[in-house]
Amino acid sequence: MSEPQTIDAIAAQWIRRKEFGDWNEAAERDFQSWLDQSVLHRVAYLRLEEGWKRTERLAALRLPEFRRAEPSRAPRRWTMLLQIAAAVVLVAVLGVAGDAYFLHAPEDTYVTPVGGREILTLFDGSHVELNTDTVLRLGKHRRSATLVKGEAFFQIKHDANDPFVVMASGHRITDLGTKFSVRGDAGGKLEVSLLEGKARIENTDSSQSRAAVLIPGDVAVATTETLKVTRKPVATLANTIGWRRGVVIFRHMALADAASEFNRYNLKKLIVDPKIAGLTIDGTFATDNLETFARIARIALGLHVESREREIIITR
């Protein structure tokens, strides 16, 4: 994304957060300081916000019959009940998350749900984009971050005197002027892809030290015992961050891997019979578009697709 597009994406995010009541004092403060950072921020926000206000007119499309058909008081009470129910659920969720993450650093932990995505702007203009199901903690001085879970893309304003540091799965990644993506999986495997600039990765958790300097195209895969760096064309690497545009891109990807990629974004899960897990698939899909994926498996690969309430099962 070019700089103005990033600004636009962030402006849309503020509007969405206000619209859905995802707002508090801290958000208001962050929002005001973002607006004050640059006139480009302010005009982008005003433009989208004005557009959003225009859509208010769509309320005119509400069917009058619908309103008349209801007893005059009933719909209001129903809405109130719904709001109360939603509020309780929200508190419960916050409560759980609060214990786990917010105890130590209340304002510095950022969480995205399954299917979610969030762009953070740091004070120096650096951007961090969080992918689905991710937890990231920002350090006190905003020049360090810990990826607790999930995946993040870092677009860092380089400062040689104060390099940005990312901690993840027992490794330290130090920016040497960079755009890079970091992904940790449940098994403790860590993947760092470098798109621009330079970064250093080193382990922090074992006595035997391993380190590598990454240049564009490098993909480092690290576990507690190993650190392996392979080189890919930068264009191929760009596919792995398709999520920044809301898509997953598969090039000759094994069906099982493609399915687990989809499953990161959706509550409804794809389950692939191990016998056909090795078949490969190509294509670009919206991260939530399971239907098209299933259709291609059925039509192009001739597989049997069974859709249930919470899962889609693919067999021969």
Partner 1 sequence: MVDRADINSEGASTRSSGARMSTAEADAWFRAEVLPLEAMLMQFLQQNWRNASDVPDLRQEVYARVYQAACEGLPERPKQYVFATARNLLINRMRQGQVIPIEAASDLEALEIAADAPGPEQAAIARDELRHLQAALDRLPPRAREVILLRRVEGLSRPEIATRMGITEGTVSQHLEHGLRALVEILGGDPPSVRRQP
Footprint of partner 1 (CB under 8 A) = 2, 4, 7-9, 12-13, 15-16, 19-20, 38-40, 42-44, 46-48, 50-52, 54-62, 82-83, 86, 89, 112-117, 132, 246, 265-268, 286-288
Structure tokens that stand for 124 in this block: 């120096």
Which tokens go with 44? 């982008």
Task: Indicate the residue among 214 and 294 with the shorter CB distance to partner 1.
Answer: 294
Tell the smallest beta-carbon distance from residue 293 to partner 1 (Å).
14
CB of 39 to partner 1, least distance (A): 4
What's the closest the beta carbon of residue 14 comes to partner 1, in angstroms?
10
Question: Given the complex with partner 1, which of 40 and 97 has the nearer CB atom?
Answer: 40
Cα separation, 124 vs 136, in Å, equals 18
Provide the terminal-to-terminal Cα distance of the chain, rounded to the nearest Å. 40
The two structure tokens encoding residue 32: 């005001």
Least distance between partner 1 and beta carbon 212 (Å): 33
Kindly report the three-state secondary structure assignment for every residue of 60-109. Answer: HHCCHHHHHHCCCCHHHHHHHHHHHHHHHHHHHHHHHHHHHHHCCCCCCE
Q: Could you tell me the two tokens for 205?
A: 């958790």
Q: CB 93 → partner 1: shortest distance, Å?
A: 11
Nearer to partner 1, 189 or 244 (CB): 244
Nearer to partner 1 among residue 4 and residue 106 (C-beta): 4
Q: Taking the alpha carbons of 250, 255, 261, 263 in that order, is the dihedral positive or negative?
A: positive
Please tell me the distance from the alpha carbon of residue 132 to that of residue 243, in angstroms, as a whole number. Answer: 9
Q: List 112's β-bridge partners, or say none.
A: 134
Half-sphere CA count of 125, side-chain side, radius 13 A: 10
Pick the closer one to partner 1 by CB: 120 or 201. Answer: 120
Q: Minimum Å distance from CB 311 to partner 1?
A: 13
As a whole number of angstroms, the distance between CA 76 and CA 55 comes to 23
Cross-strand pairs, 231: 218
Q: How far is the CB of 269 from partner 1 (least distance, A)?
A: 12
- Other residues' Cβ atoms within 10 Å of the Cβ of residue 134: 24
Contacts (Cβ under 8 Å, ≥6 apart) of 182 = 147, 151, 152, 153, 154, 166, 168, 173, 190, 191, 192
Of 39 and 160, the one with the shorter C-beta distance to partner 1 is: 39
Q: Output the smallest distance, CB 67 to partner 1, in A.
A: 12
Token representation of residue 49: 């916000």
Nearer to partner 1, 164 or 265 (CB): 265
**Nearest-approach distance from CB 87 to partner 1, in angstroms:** 11
Q: In terms of CB distance, is 39 or 103 closer to partner 1?
A: 39
Give the count of beta carbons closer than 10 Å to the beta carbon of residue 131. 21
Looking at the Cβ atoms of 112 and 178, the one nearer to partner 1 is 112
